[in-house]
Structure formats: C-alpha cells, structure tokens
Amino acid sequence: MNVRPARGSFISIEGIEGVGKSTNINFICEILDDIGIKHISTREPGGTPIAEKIRDLLLAIDNKSICAMSEFLMIFAGRAQHIHELIEPALVEGTWVVCDRFTDATYAYQGAGRGLPAELIEQMEVIVQGSIRPDLTLIFDIQAHLGLERASQRSNPDRFEREEIEFFNRARECYLARASAFPNRCKLIDASQSISQVQSELNDLLRDFVVSRK
C-alpha cells in the first residue's frame, strides 16, 4: 500500500531591508537540518528561473517607470510560477519550504508602501494561491532608519532600496499590524537584539513549531 507522506510545512521570513534575513535563514536551515527535517530554501520575488527573470525586472534601477499595479501583477505572476513549479510540489512530497518573503511582503510593500488597497491583495491572494498560506511566518522587526543604515552597507541598492524612509516606515507598520492580526501564524522577532539573542529566540520558536506539527 502506498502511504502518502505528511505534507511539508511552509515557513516564510519577513521584514524590511536590513533586518538580517539572510543570516537568519541560514541559521533556520541549520536548525531544521539538526532536527532532521528535509527542506528547501527559496525566495520571493524569484525562486524559479522564470520568477527570477521577473525579479530582475522588478529590482532593476532603470525600471523607474514601473507603476504600482504593474509591479503588483509581476509579483503575483512570479508567485504563481513559484507555487506551481517549486512550493506546492515540495510540500506535497513532504519537504518543508523556507521562503525569504511571501505575500505578507505584498501587503507591506505594494499595500502600505505603494498604497494599493488590501482588498485587492486579498482577492489576488485567493486567485493565485488557492489555499496556500505559510504555516509559520517569522517577522524580523527593526526601526526603518536602523534597517536602512545596515542595508546601506551593501553595494548597489536596488529599485526598492532606493525608496524614501517613509515607504519603509509604512511597510514596517504593516508588518507589525499583521503580526497582531495573525498571532498564531506570525511571530515577531526584535532584530535590533544581538545575533546570539535573535538566534536563541529562533531556536526556541522553531523547535516549538516542529513539535506542534507532529
């Protein structure tokens, strides 16, 4: 008899620029390895060859004239491809997915940042994702001016990183509001703490989450 594997869990990682997502994602994957959970790590926008091409369009600094609606549609076009080609097949075969950003970023950046209505994002979320939602979302939080200061140490800021601080203040407020609105799914982590404090919190959160999925 063929027994279908238990569906994998879907973890998304969120936060404005400069919160240290990359370092923390590596750490999260190390914890999952340590527990023995098969997983993949991916990102949005991007994650598949076609979605990575859309990412290039979205981040290119010479694409200044992209309007908010076009940006929004490109993000969801990439997301549709990412879900179809990578996320859903992985979850079905029991592999966990760790995704650097997902739809909470669309609420934060295209919704709060660019001013598109949340209802529009909610509708597109249903159309493109069906029932796919992250099971756990870790939101790394930092004041926008501190995050931008950290991010400015990287070279060549992309089209988003060139936005004004008010854009990131609005995105941050949206993340905080979503953390309060979805307390079971979203866990807020203070990214202004030391790396060891952040990692100790992450370790506890993830191990509790793994236990809760068994």
Residues interacting with ligand TMP, by CB under 6 A? 43-45, 75, 100-101, 105-106, 109-110, 160
Shortest CB 33 distance to ligand TMP, Å: 23
Shortest CB 94 distance to ligand TMP, Å: 25
d(CA 116, CA 132): 22
| 41: phi then psi, degrees, rounded to nearest 5 | -120, 130
Any bridge partners for residue 13, and if so which? 100, 138
- Smaller CB separation from ligand TMP, 76 or 96: 76
- Smaller CB separation from ligand TMP, 101 or 172: 101
- Smaller CB separation from ligand TMP, 96 or 102: 102
Residues near 17 by beta carbon (within 8 Å), at least 6 away in sequence: 147, 148, 150, 151, 160, 161, 168
Query: Which contacts of 181-189 are long-range, i.e. CB under 8 A and separated by 24 or more positions?
Result: 182/137, 185/133, 185/134, 185/135, 185/136, 185/137, 186/104, 186/137, 186/138, 186/139, 187/136, 187/137, 187/138, 187/139, 188/139, 188/141, 189/138, 189/139, 189/140, 189/141
Shortest CB 42 distance to ligand TMP, Å: 11
d(CA 136, CA 98): 10
Shortest CB 193 distance to ligand TMP, Å: 20
- Smaller CB separation from ligand TMP, 37 or 103: 103
- Smaller CB separation from ligand TMP, 160 or 209: 160
The position carrying tokens 């756990």 is: 136
- Smaller CB separation from ligand TMP, 21 or 37: 21
The position carrying tokens 């200061």 is: 149
